[in-house]
Structure 1
Amino acid sequence: LPTGYALEKKVVKSKVGEEVILPCCHEIPSSENLYNYRVYWQKNTTEVVLAYAEGKMISKHERYENRTKMDTRNLTLWISPVEILDNGTYQCVVQRKRSQNSVVVCDESVTLFVTADFSNPNITAEVSTNSCESTEMVVRCSSHGGFPKPKISGALNNVSVVWNVSWVSESNFSPYNVTGKLWLNVTKDVSITCSVEYNGFAKSTSLLLKKTNDCVVPTVPPSYNVITASSIIIIIFLLAVTLAARYLPRHGKCSSFFKKQSLTS
């Protein structure tokens, strides 16, 4: 059912800036006209929105000036554009003139729930402490400009979390700003979701929280066995080089001596 129309139990929902129609409890038959009736539309039983008598408007509240009108047949009250202050209970009272007296034909109330959309939630994360194993951070979710007072829910990797919530509003009938706060110990990358819920509506935002990696791997000194084995290999290599250096020259002299002997013979 679209907003702005009556629901069951005489409840109407509308958003700020829209047009809303509040139903009355009586419709004037085609054989009669408004001249024979008195009609009062009032809010919270004390504030007269508008009133008709003998077919003419006799009263209209200044706050509803240029925003309201009444259908002269079914007596519905039109309000446009809707404001947050319009939220509340309205009463339609219809009286019919009979000789010198007036008889109450009907007297019924209808409740108007006004909604103002919140902004899309904004999620921020601030790292407070960081280590190789985990990252501690403060996560905030904020939204503003909506009505009525909202709730904040959320999930961490699809597991519900409870926010520490605070609200700011100038009055009970002013837009709300809302902020939720979480303290998290993150050991791996996780997804956080924040939802702002108000009067049957909801707006959600998600953010990937990344585990920061500031780990410095310490330099491990080589073990004693590695040092010993390396030393032995180096010593053997040096001995081999030394022996080769001594042997190769002598071998060359012997070869030349044998060559000379064979030539003289």
Structure 2
Amino acid sequence: KSFLNHTAYLSCYFPNSQKTDIKDLRVFWQKGADEVVHEVYYGQEKHDNLSPKYINRTKMDMDKWTLQLLHAGIVDEGQYMCIIQHRDKGSPKVIHTSECLLHIIANYSQPEIAWLHTGELKPNEYLNLSCSSSGGYPEPKQMIWLISHENTTDRLMRHMDVSQDAVTKLYNVTSRLNITVPTKTLINISCLLHLGEQLGSLVSVPVGI
């Protein structure tokens, strides 16, 4: 995983147990079937075959056999393959291949509740609220409304509208809640944006009614 516009680290997982000299190896990374991301040709970096979008965006740490992909973007997501060939008495032979999958993460803004209501609130009237969060990636799982009164909290699932920016590929999400204004008790309302098992959740500042 890598954060948007940060450096992604892709490991080749090459043990080099034979302690082979880099000058006898050709190391190259590719994405998909035909995009060459980086190439080290018998000790020298070679740029002739690189896909244009990776030029000046990669560095190879030969001590750790790790590729650094600078300014990682959402378009860089996907499967990468590291291939190592050894030059030994004639034609090069492939001695190592490995694959890794790159996922990009962009942080969502803290969910924010807005009142879709004008005028004074009266008991038993309907109250309309919206909760929004923006600028994140990947698409979140769900948005949950939390209604707290006295010692109990109810979790309400409502439809989540999702839109994706055509250029940046970042997501904006909104959910709406329509509830009855309580007559006697005070309630706190907040909303929770669930991003996924590994990414956790974000919660809004609660509003009191």
Please report the TM-score for the alignment, with normalisation by the length of structure 2: 0.82
Contact 2:121 2:181 in 1 (8 A): no
Three-state SS of the structure 2 residue aligned to 1:42 is: strand
C-alpha change, 1:164 and 1:130, in structure 2 (3 Å) is farther
1:86-120: CA deviation from partner (whole Å, max 9, x where unpaired)? 22221111111222222221211111221001111
Match of residue 59, structure 2, among 46, 51, 69: 69
Q: Secondary structure at the match of 1:141?
A: strand
Normalized per residue, the structure richer in helix is: 1
Identify the residue that residue 178 of structure 1 maps to in structure 2. Answer: 173
* Residue 112 of structure 1 pairs with residue 109 of structure 2: no
Task: After TM superposition, give the deviation of residue 132 of structure 1 in Å.
Answer: 5.3
Would the alpha carbon gap of residues 172 and 112 (structure 1) be closer, same or farther in structure 2, given more than 3 Å must change?
Answer: farther
| TM-superposed deviation, 1:65 | 2.7
Separation of aligned partners in 2, 1:198 and 1:46: 33
Per the TM alignment, residue 161 of structure 1 is displaced from its structure 2 partner at its CA by 0.9
Trace 1:81-230 onto structure 2 (pairs within 5 A): 81-127=71-117, 133-151=123-141, 152-157=143-148, 158-171=153-166, 174-187=169-182, 188-199=185-196, 200-210=199-209
1:18 Cα deviation after fit:
2.6
Deviates most, 72-81 or 125-134: 125-134
- Measure, in 2, the Cα distance between the counterparts of 1:186 and 1:180: 19
Relative to 1, partners in 2 of residues 1:127 and 1:135: Cα closer, same or farther, differing over 3 Å? farther
8 A Cα contact 1:189 1:208, kept in partner: no
Greater CA drift, 57-66 or 103-112: 57-66
Measure the CA separation in 2 of the matches of 1:39 and 1:108. 12
Mapped to 1, the partners of 2:118 and 2:157 lie a distance apart of 20
Q: Which moved more, 1:84-93 or 1:137-146?
A: 84-93
Q: CA deviation at 1:136?
A: 0.3
What is the RMSD computed on CA atoms of the aligned residues? Answer: 2.5
Distance 1:173 1:96, change over 3 A: farther
Higher relative contact order (CA 8 A, sep 6+): 2
Give the Cα–Cα distance (whole angstroms) in 2 for the partners of residues 173 and 132 of structure 1.
43
Aligned length: 198
Written as runs of structure 1 = structure 2, the 5 A alignment for 1:237-256 is none
1:243 — aligned with what? none
Q: Structure 1 counterpart of 2:144, which letter? A: S
What amino acid is aligned across from residue 195 of structure 1 in structure 2?
Answer: L
State whether residues 28 and 74 of structure 1, in contact with CA within 8 Å, keep that contact through their aligned partners in structure 2.
no
Runs of 4+ in structure 1 off by over 6 angstroms are 128-131
**Among candidates 11, 17, 25, match of residue 5 of structure 2:** 17
* AA of the residue aligned to 1:134: N
User: Which of 1 and 2 has greater Rg?
Assistant: 1
Q: Hey, what's the Cα distance between the residues in 2 that align with 1:105 and 1:153?
A: 51
| CA displacement at 1:57 relative to structure 2 | 2.6
SS in 2 for 1:189: coil
Gaps of 5+ in 1: 1-12, 211-265
**Would you say the 8 A contact 2:122–2:181 is kept in 1?**
no
The residue identity in structure 2 corresponding to 1:155 is L
Same amino acid, percent of matched pairs: 25
CA contact (8 A) 2:147 2:188 kept: yes
Q: Cα distance, 1:80 vs. partner?
A: 2.5
What CA distance in whole angstroms lies between the structure 2 residues aligned with 1:91 and 1:150? 28
> Does residue 49 in structure 1 map to residue 21 in structure 2?
no
- The alignment's TM-score, normalised by the length of structure 1, stands at 0.66
Q: Distance in 2 between matches of 1:170 and 1:17?
A: 17
